[in-house]
Amino acid sequence: MAEKTYKERFGIRLYKEYFNFAAAHFLIFGDGRREELHGHNYGATLEIDAGLDEGGLVADFLQVKPIFRVLCDSIDHRVLLPRHNRFLSVHEDDTEVRATFGTDRWLFPRRDVTVLDIENTASELLARFLCEGLLGELSKQLPHLHPHRVQVAVQESPGQCAIYERTFEGP
């Protein structure tokens, strides 16, 4: 009888209460319609799979948590606008942000808006935004950590969330 083989996977999952952000947004649908401006109290979770370090850890929770928290805080209490939506025009200067969608116009104080390098403010793309920000900060702050998989989920209301996952091949 042949011996069974198996694969191991080690990871961490972080879902702290302070991984949250309250933000206003509106979705723009592919057919050119948009939702009304509204807000959510979003929650985010993070998973990282990687090999174990010399101490038997994927990563030190105390090092990863503040990195992810800063990313969530960076979009907390903001109006979120996508920079790259074909139906929305966004103009920024030092004091204000102007957005135009057809005949709809908004003018916001600069400090109240975060313009994101995404196509839409859908939870799926917010999850990707947070994941990309996390990966950038991990490479700077924890260069010894080489994830195999990173997953970020963004919950816009209880019982529904969107997930973005990035996997890496090789060592």
Give the tens place of pLDDT for each residue, 59-86.
999 999 999 999 999 999 999 999 999 9
Does residue 171 carry a pLDDT above 70? no
What lies within 8 Å, CB to CB, of 110 at 6+ separation is: 92, 93, 94, 95, 96, 97
Does residue 100 carry a pLDDT above 70? yes
Give the tens place of pLDDT for each residue, 153-164.
999 999 999 999
Identify which of 49, 41, 51 has the alpha carbon closest to the alpha carbon of residue 20.
41
- Map tokens 């319609």 to a residue: 33
